[in-house]
Amino acid sequence: MRTIVDLPEAERAQLDALCRQRGLSRAEALRQALRLWLDRQKPSHGEVFGLWRDRPEGSLELQQALRQEWEAH
C-alpha cells in the first residue's frame, strides 16, 4: 500500500544522505524505521506480567462477561 508522508526539508535531506550512504531507497529506509519503531512499541513481558492480578473476577468469569457483552450488541 502506498502512503504519502510530508517531511520537513531538513529531515528529508538527512534521510536522503543516509539512503545514499547505505544504498537504500527512501521507501526502504522508512519501512525499516517504521518496523523498528513498531517493535519498540510492544510492551515487554515485565510491563504486562501480573496485569490482571488485582481484578476481582477470575479470567473465566471475565471471558464469559465479555462474550455476553458481545452477544448483546
For the chain, 73 residues long, the average pLDDT of each consecutive 10-residue run is: 93 97 97 94 76 76 85 76
Q: How many angstroms separate the CA atoms of 39 and 42, rounded? A: 6
Based on its alpha-carbon atoms, the radius of gyration of the chain, rounded to whole angstroms, reads 22
Question: How many whole angstroms separate alpha carbon 73 and alpha carbon 67?
Answer: 10
Q: pTM of the prediction? A: 0.58
